[in-house]
Amino acid sequence: MKRDHELEGIIKEPRRYTPVRYISDIENVNFIPRDEIERLKRVTRVFPFRSNDYYLSLIDRTDPNDPIRRIVIPDESELDESGTLDPGQESSFTVAPGCEHKYTNTAVLLSTDKCGGICRFCFRKRLFIDDTKEASRDISPGLKYISEHPEIDNVLVTGGDPLLLSTKRLKDIIEKLMAIPHVQIIRIGTKMPAYNPFRITDDPKLLDFLNEANASNCQIYMMTQFNHPREITPEAEEAIWRVRESGCRVHNQTPLLKGVNDNSEVLRKLANRLSYIGVTPYYIFQNRPVSGNRAFKVTLLRGIKLIEDSKKKISGLAKTARYILSHPLGKVEILGVKDGHFFFKFHQSRYKENLGKFFSCPVVESAYWLDDLEIPEDIRGSQSRASFA
């Protein structure tokens, strides 16, 4: 595979930060002024901070609106009280400690409540709040549930970030899933190729195990999260190459985020660079109305325009991402807008009768979330509202 380190705008000289130094106290971020630190400590008492010296080095410190900064550095706007901690109602799909089963074929294992960095827009930020116990170190109840449900043929191992686990622990989880005959696909949801690519490149045991796993009767997918093209550094590119060399298939998903990637040119560059390094653009998510996320919101109307404009200058190989709204009703693709209506399709559904169904709603220019629209009654059912209104 060609590994192009000369792509426009990315870091030209590889830098070494191994071992990467993690930082969980905002006071230890040395480029933030003291008076700002004091204000941000109010935020971190509610929503914790975590990053590392490698990722912080990607920030343009002369730009207060730098997109990498917005991803990981707290902001006082997070104290806005709109939204909820669980707008996707994930708790209602929990079938065992740390295990969710929302869609027929897919189970989710929350393997850890730790991440390489805490994204300020995270839709599971509730996991990082004290006394939250949704993720479970003991996955045996979840494994038992999955083994007893033969309709589950793929499992997403997520969290938190599974690559924050030791290789020995991650291997144990995946091997136990592989031992379940009807599990054919295992997905690892991770942002570590962006946050700390050395977790991959400096661990031959991890890569050896992935190679062995993919040589078996089970396929491993790595679901990455690159939110901005500047995260695709030579170090990140090297990590992706190693993962692909191990036989993993790699797909990327990102939310659409104001101040980070709400720009058609940024989306174009992101899609192109992902396709250049062999990563399939998979989903662009409408960011959920989570508590503290208001500053990242992009309306549906604007999101449709941005994504469609970005596709005008990319190849078909880079046009694979679907614009998705992950709602308690299901995984809903945002197809477009025409004649005063938004058009949607269910790719996954909480209710079997909605699976594959198309529907439309009259345009509301300020609408951000599905519940901000007049949803047809046969689609909505009894779902409660969870919007930024």
DSSP 318-345: G---EEEEEETTEEEEEEEEETTEEEEE
Q: How confident is the model at residue 356 (pLDDT cuts 50, 70, 90)?
A: very high
Average pLDDT over residues 56-68: 96
Q: Name the band, by pLDDT with cuts 50, 70 and 90, for residue 65.
A: very high
- Asked whether residue 153 carries a pLDDT value surpassing 70, the answer given is yes
Residues 220 and 174: beta-carbon distance below 8 Å = yes
Per-residue pLDDT for 387 more than 70?
Answer: no
Q: Report whether pLDDT(165) > 60.
A: yes
Q: Which helix (H) or strand (E) holds 147?
A: helix 140-147
Residue 152 CB partners (closer than 8 Å, separation 6+) = 101, 104, 105, 106, 107, 146, 182, 183
Give the CATH number of domain 90-380.
3.20.20.70
Q: Is 109 within 8 Å of 118 (Cβ atoms)? A: no
pLDDT for residue 174 is more than 90: yes
Closest CA to 375 of 306, 302, 300: 300
pLDDT of residue 385: 38
Between these two residues, 81 and 313, which has the higher pLDDT value? 313
Q: What is the pLDDT of residues 259-317, one digit of tens each?
A: 999 999 999 999 999 999 999 999 999 999 999 999 999 999 999 999 999 999 999 99
Q: What is the pTM of this model?
A: 0.92
Asked if residue 19 has a cis previous peptide bond (ω within 30° of 0), the answer is yes
In the chain, what percentage of residues exceed pLDDT 90? 81
Average pLDDT over residues 212-219: 92
| pLDDT confidence bin for 389, thresholds 50/70/90 | very low
Sorted by where each begins, the domain ranges of the chain are 90-380
Q: What is the pLDDT of residues 322-333, one digit of tens each?
A: 999 999 999 999
| Mean of per-residue pLDDT scores for the chain | 91
Instruction: Give the pLDDT confidence score for residue 137 in this predicted structure.
Output: 81
What pLDDT is recorded for position 4?
39
pLDDT score of 379: 85
